[in-house]
């Protein structure tokens, strides 16, 4: 006997059944609240007069404030505003550690959230430290703002700006992609950036600046000394340097594709051309080396 057509499932029926199974097994997307309560982590330590503080973040804006001696305080705050369809979970990992007078503040952002809609994320780290300390900062994607402090400083950012005012001591800055703005410095400075504009001013004992793609604007204030060789270099960008009238150094400025413009009374010892200038400043001294591949060089007085 031939079976009834109603007893045999058609291809369309099979497809519908399969789609129903997939929908049933898939996670359900649901609207999330537009505003969630911010999460806050705090930590306070009593320390010696000169602690060592390490700050490590993934994607957070860090503010370092000068406070009283004998105490380090930290406040980490995370807030997520979102609207639309959300699935997955997302919560930063914050860990405080201490060993003697050395402290670690770690704020990690795992990025485990997927949003179909609008998301507004705020992740901040505020740290209050004594005015004299050793401070290191490392961020994969986040900016740093630092108030006047004294000591030794190492700042590194993969993708974020570094801004500081009034630092005194030894300062090292490394960024992959971010602007560096340092004002009123007093001491030794080293800057390396892959892609960023560098703006500096201060009283320098040592100055070493290299950028692969960005302009350099440096002002050496009165009292600066070329105690060992200074170097300013940009692969693709102009270099502008202003120096005090009594700075003693052997100037060696060269650009491959640009002009050297000088507003200084410099006796030329070896020669001068459109893109090269070598000469003694105030009787000479350690080298003051300036190099650009694609950009001009400007030299002027800062006083």
49-85 pLDDT, tens digit per residue, is 899 999 999 889 999 999 999 999 999 999 877 666 6
Q: Is the pLDDT of residue 276 over 80?
A: yes
pLDDT at 299: 94
> Which are the contacts of 222, defined by CB distance < 8 A and separation ≥ 6?
203, 244, 246, 302, 303
Nearest partner of 276 among 259, 295, 298, 264, judged by Cα: 259
For residue 31, what pLDDT band results from cuts at 50, 70 and 90? very low
For residue 33, what pLDDT band results from cuts at 50, 70 and 90? very low
Q: Could you tell me where the beta strands, DSSP code E, fall in 61-159? A: 61-67, 71-88, 93-99, 102-108, 113-130, 132-139, 144-146, 150-157
The token duo for 81 is 């505003």
Across all residues in the chain, what is the average pLDDT? 85
pLDDT at 199: 97
Mean pLDDT, rounded, for 180-207: 96
pLDDT at 268: 54
The structure's pTM equals: 0.82
Between these two residues, 16 and 105, which has the higher pLDDT value? 105
Angle at 142 between CA 173 and CA 149, to 5 degrees: 50
pLDDT at 184: 98
pLDDT digit string (tens) for 78-118? Answer: 987 766 665 555 678 999 999 999 999 999 876 655 556 56
pLDDT at 23: 37
The token duo for 63 is 């503010």
Q: Is the pLDDT of residue 17 over 70?
A: no
Between these two residues, 11 and 189, which has the higher pLDDT value? 189
Q: Is the pLDDT of residue 19 over 90?
A: no
State the Cα–Cα distance between residues 236 and 61, nearest whole angstrom. Answer: 28
Contact 238, 292 (CB under 8 A): yes
Q: Is the pLDDT of residue 29 over 50?
A: no
Nearest partner of 219 among 241, 192, 193, 236, judged by Cα: 241
Q: Is the pLDDT of residue 258 over 90?
A: no
- Between 216-220, 293-297, 298-302, the lowest mean confidence (pLDDT) is in 293-297
């Amino acid at each position: 006997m031939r079976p009834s057509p109603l007893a045999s499932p058609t291809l369309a029926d099979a497809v519908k059944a399969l789609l129903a199974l997939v929908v049933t097994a898939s996670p359900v997307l649901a609207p999330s609240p537009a505003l969630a309560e911010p999460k806050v982590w705090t930590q306070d330590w009593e320390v010696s007069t000169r602690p060592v503080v390490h700050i490590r973040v993934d994607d957070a804006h860090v503010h370092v404030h000068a406070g009283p001696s004998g105490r380090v305080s930290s406040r980490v705050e995370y807030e997520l505003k979102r609207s639309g369809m959300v699935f997955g979970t997302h919560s930063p990992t914050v860990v405080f550690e201490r060993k003697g007078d050395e402290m670690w503040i770690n704020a990690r952002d795992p990025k485990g959230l997927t949003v179909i809609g609008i998301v507004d994320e705020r992740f901040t780290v505020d740290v209050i430290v004594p005015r004299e300390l050793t401070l290191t900062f490392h961020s994969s994607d986040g900016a740093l703002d630092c108030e006047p402090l004294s000591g030794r400083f190492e700042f590194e950012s993969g993708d974020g700006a570094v801004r500081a005012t009034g630092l005194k001591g030894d300062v090292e800055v490394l960024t992959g992609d971010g602007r560096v703005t340092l004002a009123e410095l007093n001491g030794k400075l080293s800057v390396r950036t892959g892609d960023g504009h560098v703006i500096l001013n201060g009283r320098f004992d040592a100055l070493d600046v290299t950028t692969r793609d960005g302009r350099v604007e440096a002002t050496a204030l009165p009292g600066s000394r070329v105690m060992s060789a200074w170097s300013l270099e940009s692969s693709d960008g102009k270099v502008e340097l202003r120096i005090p009238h009594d700075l003693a150094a052997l100037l060696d400025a060269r650009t491959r594709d640009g002009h050297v413009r000088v507003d200084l009374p410099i006796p030329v010892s070896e020669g001068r051309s459109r893109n090269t200038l070598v000469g003694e400043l105030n009787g000479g001294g350690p080298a003051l080396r300036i190099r650009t591949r694609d950009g001009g060089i400007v030299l002027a007085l800062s006083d």
